[in-house]
Amino acid sequence: MPNILSDPPSWLYGLLAVVVVVPLLVAVFFTGKAQSTRASDKKTASPRTKLFAVAGVGLLLLLALGLCDYLFESDREQVVRKLKEMSEGVQHRDLNRVFNNVSESFQWHNAKKADLRKLADSALNSGQVTELKIWNVQLKPVESGATKANVEFNFKVEGSFNNSAFYLCKATFVKDPDGQWRLQTFDVFNPAVDTNTPITVPGM
């Protein structure tokens, strides 16, 4: 399903709404002169009928668009959902839930997926990390058929170290062969100092 249908932009909803509303308004307030029909024209559809037909088609398209939006998950929506699952996995101490959303092709400098899981396991077991809060997720437009997506979000790690700072993460998600988007790599930045120079991740 194309992203423009499964995750339609607001302007598309607005455009279809205009297609519905404008013909209806014109039909309702059509002048009496336009409503009068000659006897010879009775076999042809009146302008008002045509306007109602246009509005009807627009309404059907608007409903179909809303149905696609509701039933189908777009690439952007899936990535946002995966980030939420990872955050909830940390909160519930369920690393399987977290790492189901990390690609087998994950690499951060020399660290692989197994290295990241080992670090996460140690941080959770020691109580150093108890929660991973994620917000302000910004995903660059993903074209239909693309296999990589760039996403930025703010996050805060809570735990025994009492660090109140929050950070900016610039991550790359990849669409794996099973069609699922998963984390492939990331960099962390201090948004209050420099959003272009990555900072060191403790333990990695």
Residue 60 shares a structural domain with residue 123: no
Residue 98 shares a structural domain with residue 185: yes
What's the farthest any 2 CA atoms get from each other in the chain?
Answer: 89
The pTM assigned to this predicted structure is 0.76
Residue 35 shares a structural domain with residue 133: no
- pLDDT digit string, tens, across residues 134-176: 999 998 877 777 899 999 999 999 888 666 788 999 999 999 9
- pLDDT value at residue 204: 65
Residues 6+ apart with CB under 8 A from 160: 126, 127, 128, 130
- pLDDT value at residue 62: 87
Which of 24, 44, 71 is the endpoint of a domain? 71
Per the domain annotation, does 178 fall within a domain? yes
Number of domains in the chain: 2
Per the domain annotation, does 194 fall within a domain? no
Residue 54 shares a structural domain with residue 83: no
Which of 41, 71, 101 is the endpoint of a domain? 71
Residue 120 shares a structural domain with residue 150: yes
Query: pLDDT grade, residue 92 (50/70/90)?
Result: very high
Averaged pLDDT score across all residues of the chain:
85
Residue 63 shares a structural domain with residue 88: no
Residue 113 shares a structural domain with residue 140: yes
Residue 94 shares a structural domain with residue 150: yes
Residue 112, phi then psi, degrees to nearest 5: -105, -175
Residues 6+ apart with CB under 8 A from 91: 130, 131, 132
Query: pLDDT grade, residue 203 (50/70/90)?
Result: low
Expressed as residue numbers, the domain containing 182 is 75-189
Residue 108 shares a structural domain with residue 144: yes
- pLDDT value at residue 74: 87
**CATH number of the domain enclosing 141:** 3.10.450.50
Residue 79 shares a structural domain with residue 35: no
Which of 71, 101, 129 is the endpoint of a domain? 71
What DSSP line would sit under 130-175, residue for residue?
A: -EEEEEEEEE----TT--EEEEEEEEEEESTT-----EEEEEEEEE
Per the domain annotation, does 198 fall within a domain? no
